[in-house]
Amino acid sequence: MSEHDSEQEVLRLEGLRKSYNIGKPTEVEVLHGIDFLLRRRDFAALVGASGSGKSTLLNVLGLLDRPTAGKLYLLGKPTHEMDDAQRTALRGSEIGFVFQFHHLIQAFSALENVLMPMMVIGGRPAPKYVDRAYELLEQVGLRGLEQRRPDQLSGGQQQRVAVARALIARPALLLADEPTGNLDSKSAAEVFELFRKFNREFGCAVLLVTHDPRLSDQCDRTLTLVDGNLQSDVRTEIGPAR
Ligand SMILES: Nc1ncnc2c1ncn2[C@@H]1O[C@H](COP(=O)(O)OP(=O)(O)O)[C@@H](O)[C@H]1O
Ligand SMILES: [Mg+2]
């Protein structure tokens, strides 16, 4: 059990809308007013057809992009009222992101890649982050491989480095956009298990986009987007409450 209150509200969306190309002839609204609440304990899949708006929604929730309208609270803080510097700071401390392609830096070791987010903020990482990076690499099964460069690791191992990197700041929220889409089924299952483990042990809310029903079926909750609307939000949680 984590030190956090599992019922704590992590994300609250109210009437969230997103348009692209505003003011141009090609202007298009992609998200049409999304509402939902995500708590610490949540381990949720975001599913929907290609083009339904999953990546757009994840980018807005990850504070990488701004909503066109509506409210987005992260840990109760109104991100829609923040300037870019405030949003960047909040993203750095509270949000971890894992993409389909890991975006590791090839010239850096696994350890340095995990430490990257802390280096961007303050130059040289504090010793406690170095300790935590070793610990995270051990937790994702990469003990002894800390000094390897990405090209000396398998695809599954590289994605596990990306998971460790996403967690270095101990974020409240882990967002993943088709994180296993590029992996064989065994590596995909292993990476999925890591999300599960960190959701339980760190108490970080997880929202992951996946096309794989074998993975979404194992989530506690499934959010389904259809043409930019949240069509359903189904809890499939079984077993004892955590
Ligand atoms: N930068 C952009 N500019 C214009 N349209 C975009 C942009 N990004 C995505 N879209 C459009 O928004 C819709 C949703 O895309 P996306 O969020 O990538 O969906 P998904 O991840 O579910 O496949 C699609 O119609 C896509 O073409
Ligand atoms: Mg997408």
> 189 in a domain, yes or no?
yes
> 165 in a domain, yes or no?
no
Cα(54) to ligand 2 centroid in Å equals 5
pLDDT value at residue 114:
96
Place 5 in a pLDDT band, splitting at 50, 70 and 90.
confident
Q: Describe the strand order of the beta sheet including 9-20 as a list of residue ranges.
A: 28-39, 9-20, 69-74, 77-78
Protein residue with its CA nearest to atom 4 in ligand 1: 20
Place 1 in a pLDDT band, splitting at 50, 70 and 90.
very low
pLDDT in tens, 29-60: 999 999 999 999 999 999 999 999 999 999 99
Tell me how far CA of residue 227 lies from CA of 26, 75, 77, 176, 221, in angstroms.
17, 28, 28, 20, 20
> Higher confidence at residue 240 or residue 27?
27
Overall domain count for the chain: 1
Range in 110-119, 121-130, 207-216 with the lowest mean pLDDT: 121-130
Return d(Cα 61, Cα 79) in angstroms, integer.
10
Cα(77) to ligand 2 centroid in Å equals 26
> 154 in a domain, yes or no?
no
Q: Is the pLDDT of residue 91 over 90?
A: yes
Place 240 in a pLDDT band, splitting at 50, 70 and 90.
very low
Neighbours of ion ligand 2 (CB under 5 A): 54-55
On the 0-12 / 13-18 / 19+ scale of CB atoms within 10 A, 240 is exposed
Place 242 in a pLDDT band, splitting at 50, 70 and 90.
very low
Q: What value, to the nearest 5°, has the Cα angle with vertex 100 and ends 3 and 202?
A: 5
Please report, for the domain that includes residue 183, its CATH number: 3.40.50.300
Pocket of ligand 1 (CB under 6 A): 20-21, 28, 30, 48, 50-56
Tell me how far CA of residue 210 lies from CA of 18, 44, 46, 165, 214, in angstroms.
21, 10, 7, 20, 9
Q: Is the pLDDT of residue 123 over 80?
A: no
What percent of the chain clears pLDDT 90, i.e. is strictly above it? Answer: 84
What percent of the chain clears pLDDT 70, i.e. is strictly above it? Answer: 95
Protein residue with its CA nearest to atom 6 in ligand 1: 20
Protein residue with its CA nearest to atom 2 in ligand 1: 20
Expressed as residue numbers, the domain containing 200 is 9-105+170-235
> 66 in a domain, yes or no?
yes
> 241 in a domain, yes or no?
no
pLDDT, mean of residues 232-242: 70
pLDDT value at residue 182:
86
> 99 in a domain, yes or no?
yes
Place 126 in a pLDDT band, splitting at 50, 70 and 90.
confident
Return d(Cα 208, Cα 99) in angstroms, integer.
10
Residue with tokens 């298009």: 28
> Higher confidence at residue 165 or residue 123?
165
> 130 in a domain, yes or no?
no
> 212 in a domain, yes or no?
yes
pLDDT value at residue 241:
46
